Chains A and B, each alone.
Chain A
Amino acid sequence: MSATRRVNLVATAVLSFSMAGAMSTLYAVDHLRRGSVAQEALYLRSSKVLRRLSLGYTGLLADIYWTRGVQYFGEQHQSGTGDFRLLAPLLEVTTELDPKLLPAYQFGANFLAPKPPSGAGLPGAALSLMKYGVEHNPDQWRLYYNLGFLYYTEFKDYAKAADAFARGAKLPVTNAFMPILAARMAQHAGEFDTARMLWFTTYQSTKEAQIRENAVQHLLALRVDEDVTRLEQVVEKYRAQTGRLPASMGDLERAGFIHGTRTDPKGRPYKLMPDGRIEVQNPESIFFITKGLPPGAAPPQPPREAPPASK
């Protein structure tokens, strides 16, 4: 074998070995430093300093920070630690670098507001973020919608929710549901219908598959909550008329209170419990339901593999 050929062979072997080795080591480094990118937000929180450091490329830097925020939320959500300390600073820096970055407000508020494990449980931070968003983007109806949604779901502040929807409804480009939502909030009427309209608007106004799926899950849960509420009212009426609780759904049907078998969205008949409560047959199969659960059971949440936005 010639010397040149030998050198080539050794160099090729070293190259292959070091490439494989470098990649494996990098994989180990990644696991060791998971979350460290977001950690930098602790060190450099001032968007003014970042603005100067970016040499004017603030848009790109905002995109990078927004991506870091999404990854941080996803990783913390998946890890199940419930520690979302860096989420608010990351979103703050992102939106201060680029106040027009609408997804950072829309999704960011949805990451921040809901209680763990779905979100960070920081509705106050979500509200500050949305207010900052509305202030810098006063012509975006979606931000008013998100603000109203936040007041309604997290704070139960109907007057402020009505005001946010009404301001969004006045914009030249808006959604047909906005004035209706404003009116409903003002009247504080028809909880189920209002919630259904909100989730439907969410479904309708986004192209994000994950958010649409989340809206569908909430709409299904609303149907269950409404069915269970109505059925329990029927059971109460039956007791008022007959002086005893019905022994089965058949008793309600024979007495003419219901027609046919009532099923949940998965097609399973609702169960009548001996104490007159109504339960779904498999509570784990329908996420976010608050009614039809065994006593003391928490509302079932989607699995952690796919971090959902809660709206």
Chain B
Amino acid sequence: MNSGGMNSRIGYIAFNTFREAVRDRVLYNLIAFALLLSGAAILVGEISIDIERLVVVNLGLTAVSLFGVVIAIFIGIGLVSKEIDKRTLYTVLSRPVRRWEFVVGKFFGLTGTLVVNTFLMAIGVFLALLYVAHKFEKMDVWVLAALYFIVLQFLIVCALALFFSSFSTPLMSAVFTFALFVIGSLAEDLRGFARITQGAGGWLATAIAYLVPNFSALNVISQVAHGDAVPGRLILYNSVYALLYSAMAISGAVLIFQRRNLK
């Protein structure tokens, strides 16, 4: 099989995953998001003083992040099991598609869905910002950085959901992924605990702290809401980190899926 064929097969699976997600009405969350944000933008101006921009950025970006994580988890956990249940996986694999191409294609399909979703939500955030502030400011650029970090967060969550779904039931996969999301959001505290723990316990805590995904460094929502800059080096490191961590989880998923008995 040549690499052109391989790319087109991965692309085909990714596109189908995206199409299926749209068909499953995943993008309907955008309506809830739009209602939430426009409601907040109008209401806060009425009941509070001078925090309209803060609320729009904080609420908007938090909603983008949480909606996306929920979508990533609930679609990600079903990507493999649904295909097995519907027996469509056998049809796919009976064609010249390798198992790893199936996994990687699913990953790209899901992240593509989330990127489109985030892009549309980002437009909503900026429209709400324009509504409350009447103009864009220089510091609004950092909102883009925060949105980019949120997309990086989705890469990791999608990869983890896919990893767990490669060997576990959908329910357990959701539990594992969500648990890692919560632990990863407190990752810096966890590493703080590890730093002050001595001996073997300290080593173990450090190992765990470095193994769980670091979502806290990817969350700069409060920072950008206050107009603080995001350092270029953090953008670089976070990008590298998210790509490597996703690659790690996807490789794990591939290794497990290769060995899985699908009969």
Contacts and interface: CB of A to CB of B under 8 A. Distances in A.
A228 B225 CA distance: 58
A23 interface: yes
Please indicate which of the listed interface residues A7, A25, A28 has the most CB atoms of chain B within 10 Å of its own CB: A25
Interface string B231-250: 10110011011001101100
A81 interface: no
B65 to A, nearest CB: 14
B244 to A, nearest CB: 4
A31 to B, nearest CB: 10
A76 to B, nearest CB: 14
Contact of A36 (B188, B195, B241): B188
A21 B246 CA distance: 11
Interface residues of B, number: 36
A26 B241 contact: yes
A17 B250 CA distance: 13
B256 to A, nearest CB: 10
Main SS class of interface, A: helix
Contacts of B234: 29, 32-33
Contact of B252 (A15, A26, A70, A71): A15
Interface stretch (A37-45, A94-102, A288-296): A37-45
B195 A32 contact: no
Interface string B209-227: 0110010110000110110
A17 B243 CA distance: 12
Contacts of A7: 98-100, 254, 258
B9 interface: no
Contacts of A74: 196
Contacts of A4: 258
B192 interface: yes
A135 B7 CA distance: 68
A29 B242 CA distance: 12
Contact of A32 (B196, B225, B231): B231
Nearest to A44: B222
B258 A21 contact: no
Nearest to B251: A15
A228 to B, nearest CB: 37
B203 interface: no
A8 interface: yes
A241 B238 CA distance: 78
Interface string A71-85: 100100000000000
A298 interface: no
A19 to B, nearest CB: 5
B116 interface: no
Contacts of B225: 43
Interface in A40-64: 40, 43-44, 64
A29 B217 contact: yes
B244 A18 contact: yes
B196 A18 contact: no
Nearest to A5: B258
A8 B248 contact: no
A11 B258 CA distance: 10
B197 to A, nearest CB: 11
A48 to B, nearest CB: 14
A15 B233 contact: no
Nearest to B234: A32
Given A30-B191, A33-B188, A43 B226 contact: yes
B92 interface: no
A32 B100 CA distance: 36
A43 B247 CA distance: 34
Interface of B: 98-100, 186, 188-189, 191-193, 195-196, 210-211, 214, 216-217, 222-223, 225-226, 231, 233-234, 237-238, 240-241, 244-245, 247-248, 251-252, 254-255, 258
Considering the complex of A and B, which 6 residue pairs feature the smallest CB-CB distances, nearest first?
Answer: A15-B251, A18-B248, A43-B222, A18-B247, A22-B244, A25-B241
Given A14-B248, A28-B237, A29-B217, 16 more contacts: A7-B98, A7-B100, A11-B100, A11-B258, A15-B248, A15-B252, A18-B247, A19-B244, A19-B248, A21-B240, A22-B245, A32-B231, A37-B188, A40-B222, A44-B222, A71-B192
10 contacts: A18-B248, A22-B241, A22-B244, A23-B210, A23-B211, A25-B241, A26-B241, A29-B237, A37-B188, A71-B195
